[in-house]
Structure 1
Amino acid sequence: MSITGGDVVDLGAGLYAWLPPKRGWGLANCGLLVSPQGALWIDTPYDPLLAGQFLAESEKRLPDGVTIDRIVVTHANGDHFWGAGVLPGAEIIATREAREHIHYDPTPQQQHMLVTNSDPATPLGAYLGRHFGVFDWSSTEPVRPTTYFTGELELTLGEFTVQVSSLPPAHTSGDLIVHLPAQRTVFSGDVIFSSSADHPGDHPVHWAGPLDNVIAACERVLATGAEVIVPGHGPVLDRAGVREHIGYLSYVRERAHAFHTEGVPAPEAARRVIREHRYPALGLPERLVVTIGSEYRHLDGRDDMPGVLQVMSEVAAVAHEVESAVADGGPA
């Protein structure tokens, strides 16, 4: 089983967004900027199959003689990064801080082995198989950025300016946003997840935090003056959509702080927020385990990060509880 297809949205002035055909773990938005002098990607799909599909769509839009020779990576999660292998000669640009998250995540082949070798009879094995079994990293070699920067980086692509700005720790420890002034567009990476009535999305997942930084990153996107915002996942947004997302983040922050003050453990706080059912259209509510766990670490003054396997085990356990509740007639 594999995922195929994807919508290409023409944003004007040589800029395109590639949107995966469904929502879920690992299905990230990507960008293509084209000029007669060159082309670049903003992020890559998760595995070689999806990356090959994005490459094929990109090549349809390239002028004769133009190749894609640069990739700007908004952060080092594999679903935005691991597909870079289909452009083996491209310069890969990331923040210096992204190195930390590269070392935190498993390699593609480690993740492939974890997914394929996990016991499907367990909550974790079933969860990994259901959400990650559609991807194939069996022959995916690790990729590494070739250019690191700190602060601000300005690129020129023909007549277009590409303004790349690093962020304090938010979704991960090495996030950046890409502002394209001529197109009045920002690619935000995963500091923004989106949803709409026509295209419902998923709950965000934030590995680093705190949520104050995530909200500040959203405000920074608005401060560019951009009218079009391409989030890391979900449909393309306008400015009002970003403000709505800030409202979601503020709600999760308020509830996490309230439960922390009451002495409620982080996993139980996530369960309680899920049961409040404030955003019923969003999928994957179990990802609140990650985001609220990150917020608790900051409230406790800790800078440690639990292992990915431990976190995903907790996520899978809560997902199993949510699914059991639905089966018994409770809310999703």
Structure 2
Amino acid sequence: MTIRDWTVSEISKDLHAWLPPRRGWGLANCGLLVSPRTALWIDTPYDPVLAGAFLDRSRALLPEGVSIDRVVVTHGNGDHYWGAGVVPEAEIIVTRGARDQMCFEPPPQQLHAMVFGTDPDSPLGGYLRRHFGVFDWATTEPVQPHTYFTGELELSVGDYPVQISALPPAHTAGDLIVHLPAQRTVFTGDVVFASTPEQPGDHPVHWAGPLGNVVSACEQVLETGAEIFVPGHGPVLDRAGVRAHIAYLERVREAAHTAHAAGVPAQEAAHRLIAEGLGRELELPERLVVTIGTEYRHLDGTQRPDIVEVMNQVATLAHQLKADD
């Protein structure tokens, strides 16, 4: 599947979504809200090639003389943020909490060097090359946000209101949701990783937590009264789809707490949960070790580990799961 197969679809009046045609690490959904005078992006693709394709498709939908003036970034992970360099004149808006995530994650060129510089015959090197080798950040410079906020922020795109809400730490330390009341739509960022029977997705991965905060964020999404929900990854959902995702999160949380109380290490707890068939239809089950490990750290009161250490655990579990087949 080539980049020519990637499209931008209208999901409500003057609102369009870039929905990658396949799942996987780094393949995030993005939004475009258009008015006669200005336009807004919600998140950006991961690297300049994908971001440039999204920009080309966006320009085809813009009225003459209109450009992408602002970019709202739902959180600081690079797959939602690093493509902002293709719209250098746009104002970039993030939460103050997103600063922590931007410091936690390796910058683009460092990640590029790690992906292509780690021994591809090692579990970590092979995993990174397999899942991140399709992206190119060799010359990508970190993009600095222009506007930081806490609490609530209201914008206008033409006559359309845009209501942005910062969240307590959940997927990352600096998540937000974007509610577009005129379009009855919420862009949830990665507090929701979507899946439907028709379009199975991937297992969520949460870096900050605790899972109780992720569940609360999903409930806040529903409290907007919206009917259309664009997740960070996966297909567009209705209200029932968000409730199903909450049920998944609650099952993971219950299993993590039970395993922690029994003294089961996080990696073994993840392995057992996968063997029990949780999310059997979902891809990337090894990511459960991140989410369960995050929950364990809250239960233990410990600090988050280095991201390379976390990815080592992910790659090791993926290797074990392959050996189990």
TM-score over 0.5 for the pair: yes
Aligned to 2:141: 141
The equivalent residue for 2:71 is 71
Q: Which residue of 1 is the match for residue 170 of structure 2?
A: 170
Provide the rounded CA distance (Å) in 2 between the counterparts of 1:232 and 1:113: 26
**Offset at 1:312?**
0.2
Determine the structure 2 residue equivalent to 1:31.
31
Q: Give the match for residue 190 of structure 1.
A: 190
Superposed, 1:36-75 pairs within 5 Å as 36-75=36-75
- Following superposition, the deviation at residue 21 of structure 1 comes to 1.8
Structure 1 Cα separation of the partners of residues 138 and 290 of structure 2: 27
Structure 1 range deviating more: 193-202 or 35-44 = 193-202
Counterpart of 1:330 in structure 2 is none
Superposed CA RMSD in Å reads 1.0
Q: Determine helix, strand or coil for the equivalent of 2:126.
A: helix
Residue 206 (1) aligns with residue 209 (2): no
Give the whole-Å Cα distance in 2 for the aligned partners of 1:261 and 1:217. Answer: 26
Q: Indicate the residue corresponding to 2:226 in structure 1.
A: 226
Query: Given the superposition, is the C-alpha separation of residues 6 and 305 from structure 1 closer, same or farther in structure 2, using an over 3 Å criterion?
Result: same
Distance 1:4 1:318 in 2: 34
SS in 2 for 1:256: helix
Counterpart residue identity of residue 323, structure 2: S
Cα distance change of structure 1 residues 295 and 3 upon mapping to structure 2, 3 Å threshold: farther
For structure 2, which runs of at least 5 residues remain unmatched after alignment? none
**What is the one-letter code of the residue matched to 2:38?**
G
Query: Cα deviation per residue 1:114-143 (whole Å; 9 max; x = unaligned)?
Result: 001111110000000000000000010111
Q: Aligned partners of 1:90 and 1:180: how far apart in 2?
A: 20
Contact 1:166 1:177 (8 Å CA) reproduced: yes
Alpha-carbon spacing, 1:26–1:41, altered in 2? closer, same or farther (3 Å): same
Alignment CA distance shift 1:243-1:30 (3 Å): same
Q: CA–CA distance in 2 between the matches of 1:182 and 1:28?
A: 24
Instruction: Give how far 1:325 is off.
Output: 1.1
Task: Note if contact 1:194-1:245 (Cα within 8 Å) is conserved in structure 2.
Answer: yes
Q: After superposition, give the CA deviation of every residue in 1:64-123 in whole Å (9 maximum; x if it has no partner).
A: 110001000000000000000000111000000100010000000000000011111100
Q: What whole-Å deviation, never above 9, does each CA across 1:164-209 have from its counterpart, x for those lacking one?
A: 0000000000000000000000000000001122211000000000
Q: Find out whether 1:125 has 2:125 as its counterpart.
A: yes
The answer to whether the Cα contact below 8 Å between 1:194 and 1:234 also exists between their aligned partners in 2 is yes
1:114 counterpart letter in structure 2: M
1:15 & 1:115 partners in 2: Cα distance? 35
- The one-letter amino acid paired with 1:255 is A
Distance across 1 between alignment mates of 2:5 and 2:130: 19
> 1:273-327: CA deviations, max 9, x gaps?
111112111000000010000000111122x11011000001000001111111x
Residue of structure 2 equivalent to 1:322: 321
| Aligned equivalents of 2:64, 2:276: Cα separation in 1 | 55
Moved over 6 A (4+): none
**Residue 8 and residue 2 in structure 1: after superposition, are their counterparts in 2 closer, same or farther (change >3 A)?**
closer
User: In structure 1, how many angstroms separate the alpha carbons of the residues matched to 2:214 and 2:62?
Assistant: 35
Contact 1:2-1:134 at 8 Å conserved across structures: no
CA distance in 2, matches of 1:56, 1:136: 18
Q: Which amino acid aligns with 2:316?
A: A
**How many angstroms does 1:4 deviate by?**
5.1
Q: What's the secondary structure of 2:75's corresponding residue?
A: coil
Match of 1:308 in 2: 307
* Structure 1 equivalent of residue 115 of structure 2: 115
Is contact 2:27–2:46 with CA below 8 Å preserved after alignment? yes
Q: Give structure 1 stretches of 5+ with no counterpart.
A: 327-332
Q: Does 1:7 align with 2:35?
A: no
Q: Which moved more, 1:71-80 or 1:263-272?
A: 263-272
Q: Distance in 2 between matches of 1:239 and 1:67?
A: 32
Give, as a single letter, the amino acid of the residue that structure 2 aligns with 1:153: L
The aligned amino acid for 1:313 is: N
Alignment of 1:78-117 (within 5 A): 78-117=78-117
CA contact (8 A) 2:8 2:16 kept: yes
TM (norm. structure 1) is 0.96
Change (3 A) 1:11 1:3: closer
> Given that residues 163 and 180 in structure 2 are in contact (C-alpha distance below 8 angstroms), is that contact kept between their aligned partners in structure 1?
yes
**1:44-83, CA deviations, whole angstroms, 9 ceiling, x for partnerless residues?**
0000000011001100100011000100000000000000
- Normalized against structure 2, the TM-score is what? 0.98
Within 2, Cα distance between the matches of 1:94 and 1:2?
A: 31
Query: For the residues of structure 2 that align with 1:146 and 1:268, how far apart are their CA atoms?
Result: 42
